[in-house]
Amino acid sequence: MKRVVQALEARVLPVAPPVRPAVLRLVTGGWTAYYLSRRVDMLRSIHRGDPKLFDPVGPCRLLNSPLPPLLADGIIYAELVASAAFTLGLKHRVVGPAHAALLLWTMSYRNSWSMIFHNDNNLVLHTAVLGLTPTADALSIDAIRSDARLAPELLDWRYGLPSTVINAVTTATYLVAGIAKLKGPLGWSWADGESLRSQIAADGLRKELLGSGAAPLGVQLYEHTGLFRLLATGSLALELAAPIALLDRRVAKAWAAGAFGMHWGIRALMGITFRHQMSGAMFASFFPVDNLRTERPRG
3 located within any domain: no
Same domain, residue pair 147 and 256: no
Same domain, residue pair 191 and 144: no
Least confident span in 15-29, 175-189, 218-232: 218-232
122 located within any domain: yes
CA–CA distance, 240 with 254 (Å, rounded to integer): 15
DSSP state of 16: B
pLDDT of residue 7: 57
Same domain, residue pair 147 and 188: no
Residue ending a domain, among 135, 155, 175, is 155
CA–CA distance, 207 with 251 (Å, rounded to integer): 37
For all residues of the chain together, what is the average pLDDT?
89
Same domain, residue pair 125 and 33: yes
Same domain, residue pair 146 and 276: no
Question: How many other C-beta atoms lie within 10 A of the C-beta of residue 180?
Answer: 11
Same domain, residue pair 188 and 150: no
Same domain, residue pair 250 and 138: no
Helix axes 157-183, 19-37, angle to 10 degrees: 50
Give the Cα-Cα-Cα angle 65, 68, 74 (nearest 5 degrees): 125
Give residue 189's domain range. 184-288
Per residue in 91-134, pLDDT (tens digit) is 999 999 999 999 999 999 999 998 888 889 999 999 999 999 99
Per residue in 242-298, pLDDT (tens digit) is 999 998 889 999 999 999 999 999 888 888 889 999 999 999 999 988 754 444 444
CA–CA distance, 103 with 80 (Å, rounded to integer): 9
Confidence check: pLDDT of 21 > 80: yes
The H-assigned helical ranges of the chain are 2-12, 19-37, 40-47, 69-88, 92-111, 121-131, 141-147, 157-183, 194-210, 216-220, 225-240, 249-270, 275-279
Per residue in 166-195, pLDDT (tens digit) is 999 999 999 999 999 999 888 998 888 888
